[in-house]
Amino acid sequence: MKNRVTIHRIEADEIQRIVEDIYIYGYPLLVTDVMRLTHTAAAYPTASNAPANQFAHGRLPQGPHEKGSVEPNADCLKSTAWLHLNREPVVFTIPRIQRYHLFSCLSGWYEIFETFSPRTKGTQGGQFGIVGPHWSGKLPAGVKRISAPTETVWLDGWFSVAAAEDMQLVHGDQEQFYLTPLSQ
């Protein structure tokens, strides 16, 4: 005996609302994932790309010819990383530093859910465990928990540069910021 399938009639207005909700919810995740795949398709870190959970440190300010970014920050050097939090948290280590820096954590929906700068976290540095939405373990003592709404996080950072002579010092500052998977 076969079970009959009942088909409910859905009005055109309801279909339109469902399609709009799918687009509004899903499209940002799709675009962010395409950006992640593009930026992490690297065997080793370069100035603009790096494997997941590693920094790509820009060594020169972006000029008007740069097409990879829409932010005209001529007085800053960029550092960026894509975190993959599906297995475990990533610990973001910030050194004691006086130079102005700003790191924004963006979710898969391209929403900023946390920022790290001298204004928000001070200049004393620290360790921050960026945790995916499904992880329920305990972080080591001294590591502050930062809960991410998605398993993909874009860590987008900037360092101020006072003059051309300042570049080497900024490069040294960039190298003091670490990303470490919790198991390591």
User: What kind of architecture, by CATH, is found in domain 39-181?
Assistant: Sandwich (2.60)
Report the predicted TM-score, pTM, of the whole model to 2 decimal places.
Answer: 0.84
Domain-by-domain residue ranges, the chain?
A: 39-181
- Smallest CA-to-CA distance from 116 within 134, 98, 128, 108 is with 128
Please check whether residue 124 is in contact with residue 147, taking contact to mean a CB–CB distance below 8 angstroms: no
Report the pLDDT value the prediction gives residue 50, as an integer from 0 to 100. 93
* pLDDT tens digit sequence for 72-100: 577 889 999 999 999 999 999 999 988 89
Distance, in Å, from the CA atom of 103 to the CA atom of 117, rounded to the nearest integer, reads 6
pLDDT at position 101 is 93
Q: What is the band of 64 on the pLDDT scale with cuts at 50, 70, 90?
A: low
pLDDT digits (tens, 9 = 90+) for 102-156: 999 999 989 999 999 999 888 889 999 999 999 999 999 999 999 999 999 999 9
Torsion of CA 122, 135, 91, 25, to 10 degrees: -70
Distance in angstroms (rounded) separating the CA atoms of residues 61 and 71: 11
DSSP string, 98-154: -S-EEEEEE-TTS-EEEEESHHHH-SS-EEEEEE-TT----PPTTEEEEE-SSSEEE
Residues 177, 86: contact at Cβ < 8 Å? no
CA-closest candidate to residue 40, choices 170, 177, 153: 153
